[in-house]
Amino acid sequence: NAGVTQTPKFQVLKTGQSMTLQCAQDMNHNSMYWYRQDPGMGLRLIYYSASEGTTDKGEVPNGYNVSRLNKREFSLRLESAAPSQTSVYFCASSFDPGNYGYTFGSGTRLTVV
């Protein structure tokens, strides 16, 4: 089925550990995004990639890095995980930055202990 695929679905990390969240889309979209969702906070943009080869910071980029590997794939890396990064992470894609009919993945639930 066409859409956005995120891996893993669940992850528990110890403080200070690193990990990479993977995201891939098969809709030939140009733009990709990483959000985090916390209770009572709504969705907050971490980083986005308007097109292949570009990345920009969103609202809450500190503690994260991203890589737009190719048109299909956009990864999010936590270099040294902190408990404050416990959250649900969503990847999304759209045809272009002005198209807000985003398609979201099913999310990665990350717990940092």
Partner 1 sequence: EDQVTQSPEALRLQEGESSSLNCSYTVSGLRGLFWYRQDPGKGPEFLFTLYSAGEEKEKERLKATLTKKESFLHITAPKPEDSATYLCAVPSEGGGSYIPTFGRGTSLIVHP
Residues that bind partner 1 (CB under 8 A): 4, 33, 40-45, 48, 50, 56-59, 90, 92, 97-98, 100-107
112, two tokens: 């940092």
Rounded-to-integer distance, Cα 22 and Cα 7, Å? 5
Min dist CB 29 to partner 1, Å, is 13
Which residue matches tokens 């639930």? 109
106, two tokens: 């099913």
Other Cβ atoms closer than 10 A to 8:
11
Min dist CB 16 to partner 1, Å, is 28
Rounded-to-integer distance, Cα 9 and Cα 22, Å? 10
Q: Which is nearer to partner 1, 14 or 100 (CB)?
A: 100
Min dist CB 63 to partner 1, Å, is 18
Q: Which is nearer to partner 1, 56 or 79 (CB)?
A: 56
